[in-house]
């Protein structure tokens, strides 16, 4: 969330943000709303001030055994007037807040101009195959490790059952990634997989993306669309000590997304599911170090692909592609031989103070003892399902077997191959 004052004082930049992100919001309407809101705040404060003064007088004269009836009469009128102003003021503040909650984050100066992402770096050699490659869906089904039919029967479209070595591969990846990030200095968190409305609003999923998340209606809880939600909310409504920063957390969670309206060949199989597993990285940092920390976080996520031996590239996201809550972000994209293209497997973002303002997460700086919003950063490290896709496709053999990357074998009781049992 941006502050109303910032938008008021930086109108041109606010317009530019909307334009570059391809969004439309009525800024003029907001400005007049904001003027009105401030008028009403002033009016209410004046009346309240009068009320406070007279209340004291009334109390005092009662203590002196005088009858303050005339004062009370007058204040009844003031009170009635204030009730009218107060209710209008509340409406205006609600409307203003609602606008601000739906306004996206600023764009950092490093965000590429135009509507194309920009390649930042690339790692690894693209694999060459001397036989026709299969996609992960064909491989998974023929190896008997991915079962879409059973999942559709027990739940519905957009879900999958992992079986045998497929399930073990998924679980091995979760543990491998968690262990790697722990050695990079992250503290492991196993959070709740449901969050309340306040937490879900804090990270920016509500109110704008209501259609994208699953809600447990009876209890007003939301299934997490990413572990970013609980991890960032670890410190909601807290003031942290500057010395404690940066704080780094890694957490595994399943992620639940409605993916309303998403279909097509590019998302077939387990590329896009309503439920998938993910290991998430979150950092809380000072504004001075947040971009340095983002660079580290991105490299720490990339390290997973390096150790698995999967080719990837890192793309700086342009204004249209960057997330609602993020001021700057990079995608890590892994090579998929069946599609002959790179596919997103992680997004690493700096939300700056956008989430911190919503969730009220601050730090107290040591010198002048004032408080400031922290910067929050997050990145997948990595999406597990898509990592399975990449492993199946990149390490497939002509006979349909799949070579398990060496770093995962200790997590799979030394298995070297995924093959039909």
How crowded is the C-beta side of 363, counted as CA atoms within 13 Å? 19
- The interface region with RNA, picked from 3-11, 142-150, 200-208, 266-274 by CB under 7 A, is 3-11
Which of 28, 63, 128, 265 binds RNA (CB under 7 A)? It is 63
4 binds RNA (CB under 7 A): yes
Is residue 70 near RNA by the rule CB under 7 A?
Answer: no
Element (H, E) at 82: helix 69-101
End-to-end CA separation in angstroms for the chain: 53
Q: Kindly tell me the number of DSSP H helices and DSSP E strands found in the chain.
A: 12, 18
Q: How far is the CB of 85 from RNA (least distance, A)?
A: 11
What count of Cα atoms within 13 Å lies in the side-chain half-sphere of residue 171?
Answer: 11
Q: Does 52 bind RNA (CB under 7 A)?
A: yes
Q: Which two tokens stand for residue 328?
A: 């700057």
| Strand 341-350 versus strand 328-336 pairing type | antiparallel
Give the pair of three-digit tokens for residue 388. 């399975």
With binding defined as CB under 7 A, does residue 29 bind RNA? no
Residue 79 in the binding site for RNA (CB under 7 A): yes
Shortest Å distance, C-beta 195 to RNA: 12
CB of residue 69 to RNA, shortest distance in Å = 10
If one asks whether residue 132 binds RNA (CB under 7 A), the answer comes out as no
Backbone angles phi, psi at 16, to 5 degrees: -65, -40
What is the phi-psi region of residue 340: left when phi exceeds 0, alpha when psi lies from -120 to 50, beta otherwise?
Answer: left
3-state secondary structure at position 117: coil
Which one of residues 22, 29, 32, 59 is an interface residue with RNA (CB under 7 A)? Answer: 59
User: Which of 18, 27, 31, 41 is in the footprint of RNA by CB under 7 A?
Assistant: 41
User: Which residue among 3, 142, 288, 397 contacts RNA (CB under 7 A)?
Assistant: 3
**Phi, psi at residue 308, to the nearest 5°?**
-80, -15
CB of 38 to RNA, least distance (A): 4
Residues that bind RNA (rule: CB under 7 A) add up to a total of 34
The residues, any chain, with a CB within 8 Å of residue 100's CB and separated by 6 or more, are 1, 2, 3, 4, 7
DSSP E strands in 244-318: the ranges are 247-256, 275-285, 312-316
Give the dihedral sign, CA 275/279/283/289. negative
Using CB under 7 A, pick the residue from 9, 32, 102, 155 that binds RNA: 9
Runs of H (alpha helix) within 217-353: 228-232, 290-308
The one among 12, 24, 28, 64 contacting RNA by CB under 7 A: 64
Asked whether position 62 contacts RNA by CB under 7 A, the answer is yes
Binding mask 166-185 for RNA (x = CB under 7 A): --------------------
By the rule CB under 7 A, 55 interacts with RNA: yes
Q: Is 7 in the site for RNA (CB under 7 A)?
A: no
Task: Determine contact, residues 363/239, Cβ cutoff 8 Å.
Answer: yes
By CB under 7 A, which span of 2-10, 292-300, 308-316, 399-407 interacts with RNA? 2-10
- Give CA–CA dist 396/134, Å, rounded: 8
Residues 224-263 that bind RNA (CB under 7 A): 239
Answer whether 312's CB lies under 8 Å from 342's CB.
Answer: yes
Min separation Cβ 321 and RNA, Å:
30
102 binds RNA (CB under 7 A): no
- Least separation, in Å, of the C-beta of 50 and RNA? 8
Residue 194 interacts with RNA (CB under 7 A)? no
Q: Where does this chain touch RNA (CB under 7 A) — which range of 51-59, 109-117, 253-261, 269-277?
A: 51-59
Enumerate binding residues for RNA (CB under 7 A). Answer: 3-5, 9, 38, 41-42, 44-46, 48-49, 51-52, 54-56, 58-60, 62-64, 72, 75-76, 78-79, 90, 239, 362, 368, 370-371
């Amino acid at each position: 969330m941006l502050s109303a004052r910032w938008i008021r004082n930086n109108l041109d930049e606010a317009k530019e943000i909307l334009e570059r992100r391809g969004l439309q919001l009525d800024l003029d309407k907001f400005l007049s709303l904001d003027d009105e809101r401030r008028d009403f705040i002033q009016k209410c404060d004046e009346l309240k001030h009068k009320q406070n003064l007279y209340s004291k007088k009334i109390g005092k004269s009662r203590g002196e055994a005088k009858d303050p009836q005339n004062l009370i009469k007058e204040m009844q009128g003031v009170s009635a007037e204030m009730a009218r102003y107060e209710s209008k003021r509340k409406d205006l503040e609600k409307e203003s807040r609602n606008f601000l909650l739906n306004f996206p984050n600023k764009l950092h100066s490093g965000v590429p101009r135009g509507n194309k992402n920009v390649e930042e770096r690339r790692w690894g050699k693209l694999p060459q195959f001397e036989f026709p490659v299969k996609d992960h869906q064909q491989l998974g089904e023929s190896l008997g490790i991915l079962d879409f039919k059973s999942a559709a029967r027990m739940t519905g479209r957009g879900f999958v059952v992992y079986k045998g070595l497929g399930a073990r591969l998924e679980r091995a990846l979760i543990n491998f990634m968690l262990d790697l990030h722990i050695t990079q200095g992250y503290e492991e968190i196993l959070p709740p997989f449901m969050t309340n409305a306040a937490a879900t609003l804090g990270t920016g999923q509500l109110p704008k993306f209501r259609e994208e998340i699953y809600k447990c209606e009876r209890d007003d809880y939301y299934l997490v669309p990413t572990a970013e939600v609980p991890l960032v909310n670890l410190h909601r409504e807290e003031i942290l000590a500057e010395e404690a920063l940066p704080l780094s957390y890694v957490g595994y969670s399943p992620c639940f997304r409605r993916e309303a309206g998403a279909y097509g060949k590019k998302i077939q199989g387990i590329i896009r599911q309503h439920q998938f597993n993910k290991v998430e990285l979150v950092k809380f940092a000072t504004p001075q170090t947040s971009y340095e920390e983002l660079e580290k976080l991105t490299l720490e996520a990339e390290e997973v692909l390096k150790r698995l031996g999967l080719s990837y590239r890192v793309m700086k996201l342009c204004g249209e592609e960057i997330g609602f809550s993020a001021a700057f972000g990079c995608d890590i994209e892994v090579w998929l031989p069946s599609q002959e293209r790179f596919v997103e497997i992680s997004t690493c973002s700096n939300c700056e103070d956008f989430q911190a303002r919503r969730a009220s997460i601050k730090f107290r700086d040591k010198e002048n003892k004032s408080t400031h919003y922290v910067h929050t950063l997050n990145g997948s490290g990595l999406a597990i399902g898509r990592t399975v896709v990449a492993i199946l496709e990149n390490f497939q053999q002509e006979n349909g077997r799949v070579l398990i990357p060496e770093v995962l074998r200790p997590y799979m009781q030394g298995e070297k191959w995924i093959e039909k049992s």
